[in-house]
Structure 1
Amino acid sequence: MPAVAHRGGGRRRTINEINMVPFIDVMLVLLIIFMATAPLITTGVVDLPSVGKAKQKPTSVIEIVIGTDEKLKLKRDGQTEASAVTLAQVASRVKSAQAGSDDTPVVISADRNVKYDSVVKVMDTLQRNGVQRVGLSVKQGS
């Protein structure tokens, strides 16, 4: 009697598993392709609008200056008012400086280091109180 008996009469049994070798080969090829093409892809470039010169300078301008300390000052035609203005007062002071002429433009000038949030708060306060022509002051050129 033989010590070892074969079951199934010598037939090979089928394996019900996924062969991972071709899958890994394909993934490595894709990885190499992506690594080679990644430096060639251009990054998203934002094309910002440039500032041109106005056709005609307005006759009178109200300017709100936001300093580096975030204190507000009001200028009417280049003449600075003596006292500082708070955010709560800015709309009423601008309205009185406009003297009923809603066409008088209001320009917000802020130092480069002032938080964007401060500029937006001033702009929002003016627009909520009915000031129509509000703009931002920029330096010409680069």
Structure 2
Amino acid sequence: MQSARSRMKSRAKAEINVVPYIDVMLVLLVIFIATAPVVMQGVTVDLPKAQAETMNQDQQTPIIATVDKAGQFFVSIDSNAVKMDNLDSLTAYVSEQLQKDPSRPVVVQGDAQVAYNNVIMLMNALKNGGVKSVGLVTDPIE
């Protein structure tokens, strides 16, 4: 009888300990929550205020060419902002994106404090890059 009890005590249990897996999942969740704002980045500009028509919601997400207060140029496509070194690289990048999808709208977003010349240079560069029409982004007047 003693040997039957010792055999029962030495038998391995077929259980999975899930506590370490829960710990790992919680750590991953915290990492994703902490890095999500970094992934969803954009360019902050203080837009001029004007009464304007809103874009048609049925259209695709536009390509946004931005010039900020410091005169730096950015291109945002589907919430991915890319800093451009100069207008030539911006024009090449936008042209490449329009070759993939020519029906995609292009808009210019200029900071209210930026020199007017920078916005005109950006619009001219887009025109030279083959963009047929360009919209301007503004904030609505309250």
Alignment map for 1:61-100 (pairs within 5 Å):
61-81=62-82, 83-100=83-100
SS of residue in 1 equivalent to 2:139: coil
Superposition deviation, residue 84 in structure 1? 2.8
Alignment map for 1:5-24 (pairs within 5 Å):
none
8 Å contact kept, 2:84–2:90? no
Corresponding residue pairs, total? 93
User: In percent, how many aligned pairs have the same letter?
Assistant: 20
Structure 1 unmatched runs, 5+: 1-48
Alignment map for 1:83-122 (pairs within 5 Å):
83-122=83-122
Quote the Cα distance in structure 2 between the aligned partners of 1:88 and 1:53: 30
Aligned to 1:59: 60
Q: Give me the CA root mean square deviation.
A: 1.9
* 2:134 is aligned with 1:134: yes
Residues 17-43 of structure 1, C-alpha deviations (whole Å, 9 max, x = no match): xxxxxxxxxxxxxxxxxxxxxxxxxxx
Structure 2 unmatched runs, 5+: 1-49
8 Å contact kept, 2:94–2:129? no
- Bigger Rg, which one: 1
**Which of the pair has the greater relative contact order for Cα pairs under 8 Å at 6+ separation?**
2
